[in-house]
Homo-oligomer: A and B are copies of this chain.
C-alpha cells in the first residue's frame, strides 16, 4: 500500500516536472542572449548533438561540458575574487599575527598597498595563500569560505560576488543540463575555494569541480579522522594544466568548452581536437558600461590581474571556428536580476 502510494506520487511528480521542462524548452532557453551568431552557434550545437539519428548525435554519457570560472562565469575584475578573499583573511587574522606589521607581503597588504605587496612576485603570493588557505582541516576551511562568500561584496559595484555571476552563462549551464550534459568547472582557482558555493551559484556539485589544489594529509586529530591542508602546492589547473586536470578528474575529452583567456586556450584546443561535433566559446570582456573592458584584443586595454582574450587567442579562435561572445553586443543583461 505504502509502495503503491509512493509510486503514484513519484509518477505524478515526474509528469509535472516533464510538463514544466517541456514548457521551458519550448520557450527560449537563452532569454538573456541577443539574437545573433553567438546565440545561434550554441543552440545549433546543442540541437545537433542531441537529435537522435543526426550524424553528430552524442550519447548522453559523453555530453561533457567544461567551464572556466573567473571571467567566464563571474566577474574577475579588478582582481580575482579568491585574491580578495585572501586579502580579507589577512585583515581578519592580523590581530593574531603582530609580526606581520614588519613582514611582507602582509605589511603592505594591511595598508591596502596591493602593488607593493605583490612586488615580491610568486613567493609573496604563495606566502599569502599559505597563511590564508592552509594550516587547518578541510572542514574548517570550507566553513571560512562559506561564511565569507555569503556576504563579501565587490569593491566598486557594492554587489555581493555571488550576485556577480553572469546571467547569460547561468542560462547556458541550465540549457546544457536540460539537454543531458554534465557540466564541470575547470578553473585556475582553488578547487576547495569553489566547492562550498558553486552548487548554489551554478548548479554544479562539488564533485564536478576541477581546480588548482594544495597538498593535504590524512590524520587522526583528537580521535577524529580529518584532512589537513598543507602549505605546499599540489596542482596548478591553468593553461596546459587544464587538459591534465580534465584527464585526471573527468577521464573523458569534453565536447564543449567555455573560457575567457589564454589560461583556457589548451582546454579549448583539447576539446576541439576530439572527433565529432565540438563547441568552443570565449567571453570577450568589451563592456565597460555594465562590467569591465579588457583584453588586450580588439583595442581593449590590458587587464591588470586575471587573464583575457589576446590578439593571438582571438586569431586562433577565428581560425578554429570558436565562438567569441561580445558581452556588449551579445548579452541583454550581465548579472542576475534577482538577489540570491
Binding site for B on A (CB under 8 A): 3, 6-7, 10-11, 14-15, 18-19, 22, 25-26, 61, 64, 138, 182, 184, 191-192, 195, 199, 205-209, 213, 216-218, 220, 224-227, 234, 240-241, 243-244, 247-252, 266, 269-270, 272-273
| Complex Cα spacing A14 to B241, Å | 41
Report yes or no: B18 in contact with A247, Cβ–Cβ below 8 A. Answer: no
Instruction: List, sorted by A's number, 23 A–B pairs whose CB atoms are closer than 8 Å.
Output: A3-B25, A6-B22, A10-B18, A11-B15, A11-B18, A14-B18, A15-B15, A138-B247, A184-B207, A206-B251, A206-B252, A207-B208, A207-B252, A209-B251, A217-B240, A218-B240, A224-B273, A225-B269, A227-B244, A227-B247, A227-B270, A234-B248, A249-B249
Report yes or no: B266 in contact with A218, Cβ–Cβ below 8 A. Answer: yes
Our pick among B205, B216, B266 for the contact of A225 (Cβ within 8 Å) is B266
Our pick among B3, B19, B240 for the contact of A26 (Cβ within 8 Å) is B3
| Chain multiplicity (copies) | 2
Smallest Cβ-Cβ distance to A240: which chain B residue: B218
Given the known inter-chain contacts A25-B3, A218-B240, please indicate yes or no for A199 contacting B247, CB distance below 8 A: no
A226 neighbours in B (Cβ, 8 Å):
273
A235 to chain B, nearest CB (A): 9
| Complex Cα spacing A49 to B48, Å | 40
A205 neighbours in B (Cβ, 8 Å):
61
| Complex Cα spacing A224 to B184, Å | 23
Report yes or no: B272 in contact with A195, Cβ–Cβ below 8 A. Answer: no
Smallest Cβ-Cβ distance to A10: which chain B residue: B18
Report yes or no: A243 in contact with B266, Cβ–Cβ below 8 A. Answer: no
